[in-house]
Amino acid sequence: MSAQIRFLGGAGTVTGSKYLVEAHGKKILIDCGLFQGLKKLRLKNWDEFAINPETIDCIILTHAHIDHSGYIPRLIKSGFRGKVYSTEATRDVCKILLPDCGYLLEEEAVYLNRVQRTKHKPALPLFTSEDAEEALESFVNVPFHKTHAISSQISFEFRYAGHILGASSVVLTVDHKKIFFTGDVGRINDEIFHPPDVIPNMDYLVTESTYGNRLHSSEDVATELSHVVNETYGRGGVLVIPAFAVGRAQSIMYYLTQLRRQNRIPSMPMFLNSPMATDFSSIFKKHTKLHKLTLKDCAEIDSHFRYVRSADESRALNERTGPMIIISASGMLTGGRVLHHLKAFAPHPENTILLSGYQSAGTRGESLQNGAREVKIHGEYIPVRAQVRNLDNISAHADYGELIQWFQHSKVKPKKVFITHGEASAADEFRRRLAEKFGWDCSVPEQDEIFKLE
């Protein structure tokens, strides 16, 4: 085996995942994500790409989240002409996520030009919704557990990872040696998704470490959620739940539906205000083998929620009073309709903002999680007098204990481990735990670092 891996993203941060493998004259990019969160990270999206995109042969995409897929339209605009390999469900989710991301980037550019807060005249989006639509034409579906050859010496296979619909780990084989990329790994005992596949024997491991220094709460999600709902209802307030439209929104809807059926929460209007999440519900029904919900479960969820589709309907929600529940994207409050709800409801103490999962550094969600009493939205500072709660146990990421359990159950013995997709402290803590538990040779790569695989 003669190969090298270069960490173009996801190194020292949970965002911008991009891993370039070079072997036998081929350049293969595992994931192609946008940097999000802190401004210094977001600015990296505008940098000239580290290598000529025209020289990249293909992209292998683990899943559809923007921090893994969102740079694909930009890379194609810059000259990439290869195929993007993904599972069918990942492509279906990208058909929603990528154009929506392009639309939000366009809207941001329009806003910056209107208020003249831009160094560039005019401000331009990183890519447009039209660019995203064109990028989808490069996608090629590859089923789970089917070996796909890139050349006579190189092949790959997708393995089920849980996390979100279509999410996979990647087994990349070069000269009979295997490099295993975990992608983002789901929970072992998730209510919605199946546990991740057992890991096959491999030589090199590239693992995420989002929760590399934390364990999820042991409290039952339904119980924790019922407490928040009942407390807010008792105050006559509005419960706003920022939720990632891909997966998280459906999980929360599932729990709320179960609680309502069991009469553990009172009857009140419940809204899903995200066209993206609404479209995603139909994809959920298409790929029933990839999750635990039946079509009957999906129908029951639909019966309890009102789907908000138009912008006028969304604005009308802000004129309503509680009690009611609004689920809306984005989950880290980086954009989307939820920002308008935050402006309307955060200033009032009877309301609750319920964060549902990981909040990246530099996001409004992280600011609220850390106790911020005001947040900047659309150029103005909004006071936060509402209750802010965190539903940590509903995270779609395995914590360090679950990852270790997964590795242990799979009985893997990698020659070398690369720890990625985690803040610096989380990645280093996970490195220490893996070294102590298994005696593995572990490294936490830095941005643009190159490792020879021999």
Identify the pLDDT of residue 362.
Answer: 83
Task: Give the chain's domain count.
Answer: 2
Domain, as residue range, for 277: 221-394
pLDDT per residue as tens digits for the range 213-259: 999 988 889 999 999 999 999 999 999 999 876 778 888 999 999 99
Would you state the pLDDT for residue 156?
98
User: Please, what sign has the CA dihedral across residues 272, 220, 226, 265?
Assistant: positive
Residues 293 and 377 occupy one common structural domain: yes
Q: Which of 351, 371, 394 is the last residue of a domain?
A: 394
Query: What's residue 311's pLDDT?
Result: 82
Pair 65, 200 in one domain: yes
Give me the pLDDT at residue 322, please: 87
Task: Tell me what percent of the residues of the chain surpass a pLDDT of 70.
Answer: 98
**pLDDT given for residue 270 in this prediction:** 97
The CA distance from 253 to 231, in Å, is 18
Task: Dump pLDDT digits (tens) for 166-195.
Answer: 999 999 999 999 999 999 999 999 989 999
Nearest to 167 by CA among 86, 50, 72: 86
pLDDT tens per residue across span 104-154: 888 878 877 877 766 667 888 999 999 999 999 999 999 999 999 999 999
Q: Are residues 414 and 297 in the same domain?
A: no
Same domain, 380 and 405: no
Contact 53, 79 (CB under 8 A): yes
Amino acid (1-letter code) at residue 280: F
Please tell me the predicted confidence (pLDDT) of residue 277.
62
Q: Are residues 206 and 243 in the same domain?
A: no
| Whether residue 60 sits in one domain with residue 146 | yes
Say what the pLDDT of residue 427 is.
97
- Per DSSP, the residues of 296-356 read HHHHHHHHH-EEE-SHHHHHHHTT--SSEEEEES-TTSSSSTHHHHHHHHTT-TT-EEEE-
Same-domain status, 42 and 58: yes
Same structural domain, 379 and 410: no
Cβ atoms 213, 430 nearer than 8 A: yes
**Can you tell me which residue has the tokens 């996001």?**
363
Q: Check which CATH number belongs to the domain holding 90 and give it.
A: 3.60.15.10
Amino acid at 241: I
- The pLDDT of residue 60 is 98
Q: Residues of the chain with pLDDT > 90: what percent?
A: 74
- Residues 410, 383 share a domain: no
Indicate the pTM of the whole model.
0.91
Residues in the chain: 454
Query: Using CA atoms, how far apart are residues 40 and 43, in angstroms rounded to an integer?
Result: 5
Mean pLDDT of 7-17: 95
